[in-house]
Amino acid sequence: MDPDFGRLRPGRPEPVRASSSRNKARIRASNEVVRGVIRTVCLIGAVVLAAAVVHAQVAAPVDPLSMFDEQPAYVLVESGLGEFSAVVECDYATVPADSEAEAAITVRLADTEGAPAAGRRLALLLFEGDGSVMPDEPVTDAGGVAHFTYRAGRLAITNHFELLDLNSGERLEFTLPTSLTAEVTVELVDPATYASRVASAMTRPDMFDLALTAFPEALPADEVSSSRLTAYLTYKDGRPAAGFPVKFMIASGNGSVTQEQELTDRDGYITAFYRVSDRVGTVVIEAVELTTGERASMDITVVEAGPAKLKLWLEDDAGGFFEERAVLPADGISSFVVVAQVLSLVDTPIAGAKLQFKLVNQLGFLEVLEAETDGDGCIHAIYTAGTFAGTERIIAYLVSE
């Protein structure tokens, strides 16, 4: 793990990006079956692009995880806005993207002589990203200060903002990347204690009924994901209607349908596939029995694509799966496989996402096997216990690019 990940350097801090690779390696460590718990906490936040200002800047965090704590002010950008100089600050370096967190954004304007620019009408626009902006005090006061509030969304994607001076039409752009974090804990006990715990431890056959289903019923708008469509045709008395033509089509919305099977099989079933577009919204799929016009329809929900959930768990060599807490002997040898998984809003895996890991208390060692999530949205690492008893916190986090 990059020791400088997430640090805001004095003078002009820069945004950081997670690093990674793509491979899934399933490595099992020698270990006895244990009972335990993994506490999983998911946070989504935003890493701030910053330029230093002496009166407002917070010292560069020694620990990148301190970016998730509220601070007096982090500078997002310092630049010109027409004839004025503008400094944009935020009280978070990372805003948890949980659709509830609110970050105060402050704009300071000064004229060419350095005097506060009062009475300027400003607008802050979120033109790309996830979340919303509320204008608290959009007109600069006697100190040249205006206030806005950013309310986080649910996706770990980079937000692009535009600051607009409504008096002059001058514009200034800046970005606010977002991130996901997750945490698990491992309790380390002396080998004797560990060994002790383990030891204890229808009426008319000429008329049809047509039913239509889709799996999954919700997809991310990534132009790749698909849903399997299944139509079931029966006579009114419940018997399967075999050998009849059924056509699938999009009645409303975007995307495409691929259908190879033309007639229902002997059990009355026929299938096709719907492939999503890059447009969010509701897609209505319709199936029609062509000899009678019997119809059935259903909705598929298409949501914004991007990483929105981060899961973390532990596995051992005997097939144990621990979602809350696990126990290992502090023998310097015993280990767990750590698995982090990145998902979309509708729980489809996100491949190619870059994660970082951290051992908070340094009670052991962590070897990350991949740096990018695989086709299942997973990255694997090996945690090996140290030789001192205590509780280790393993944290995984993702920062948007």
- The pLDDT, as a whole number, for residue 34 is 32
Q: How much is the pLDDT for 180?
A: 76
Exposure class string for 75-96: b at 16+ Cβ within 10 A, else e: bbbbeebeebbbbbbbbbbbbb
| 59 and 156 belong to one structural domain | yes
pLDDT of residue 185: 82
Same domain, 80 and 226: no
216 preceded by a cis bond (ω within 30 of 0) = yes
Domain that holds residue 245: 208-293
Q: Rounded to whole angstroms, how far apart are CA atoms 131 and 303? A: 14
Q: Cβ–Cβ contacts within 10 Å for residue 13, how many? A: 23
Q: What is the pLDDT of residue 83?
A: 93
Same domain (yes/no): 148, 193: no
Residue 27 lies in a domain: no
Instruction: Identify whether residues 310 and 373 lie together within a single domain.
Output: yes
Both 69 and 164 in one domain: the answer is yes
| Average pLDDT, consecutive stretches of 10 residues, N- to C-terminus, the chain (401 residues) | 35 35 35 34 33 36 54 83 93 80 92 93 92 92 95 85 93 84 82 76 64 93 92 92 93 93 95 93 93 91 87 88 87 94 88 90 93 92 94 89 71
Residues in contact with 205: Cβ distance below 8 Å, sequence separation at least 6, in sequence order: 235, 236, 237, 239
- Is the pTM of the predicted complex or chain greater than 0.95? no
The count of domains in the chain is 3
pLDDT of residue 13: 36
Q: How many CB atoms lie within 10 A of CB 4?
A: 10
Residue 383 CB neighbour total at 10 angstroms: 25
Of 243, 261, 293, the position where a domain reaches its end is 293
pLDDT at 64: 52
pLDDT at 73: 73
Same domain? 281 vs 322: no
According to the model, what pLDDT value does residue 65 have?
A: 55
